[in-house]
Amino acid sequence: MSRTRMLSAIGLVGLSLVIMGCPKKAPEPVPPPPPPPVTVPPPQEVAPPPPVVDETPDPWSGEIEEINRMIVEQGLVGDVYYDFDKFDLRPDAREQLAKNAQFIRQHPNFRFTVEGHCDERGTNEYNITLGQGRSSAAVGYLQSLGVANGMRTISYGEERPVCTQSGESCWQRNRRARFIVTGK
């Protein structure tokens, strides 16, 4: 080949390189767009479930007269009886007071009054004193069982008999300490 041709060929190659330019680097890939920001909802306060409400009416929420009637009818609290001219507690009285104590412990919101009663024999003044001794003896025994704090006593002597006939069977029913609910 002749020199001119060769020079022409080299020139053509050089010219084509100039026209086409140098090979370019491949463009760097464009990074993908960042993901959208994740928005976390604020923590929600979870309300506790509503309390279970017992819709059964409380039998002890009624009027005091009704409560006293139910207590007597159901035998939950009973009277304590005494011998003639005495305020000492008999064994049956102690049993009844123990039973009364159970109910009183279960219902600390009730306020009780213990009434002392006597039969018709004796003077009014004597029977008032004897009735007070009876109600105080009952409360004292309840206190020994761990109940009766704040329990009130009162004596009616012979003023409020449950039986008005004359005779031992009637008099025995009147010699008593009676428990009544007087407040809540």
Q: What's residue 46's pLDDT?
A: 75
Q: What's residue 179's pLDDT?
A: 95
Domain holding 155, by residue range, is: 62-183
In a domain, 36, yes or no: no
Cβ atoms of 116 and 132 closer than 8 Å: yes
Q: What is the pTM of this model?
A: 0.66
Instruction: Write the pLDDT tens digit of every residue in 80-104.
Output: 999 999 999 999 999 999 999 999 9
- Find the CATH number of the domain harbouring 155: 3.30.1330.60
Backbone torsion region of residue 54, taken as left when φ is above 0, otherwise alpha when ψ lies between -120 and 50, otherwise beta: beta
In a domain, 140, yes or no: yes
How many domains is the chain built from?
Answer: 1
Report whether pLDDT(12) > 70: no
CA distance 86 to 177: 12
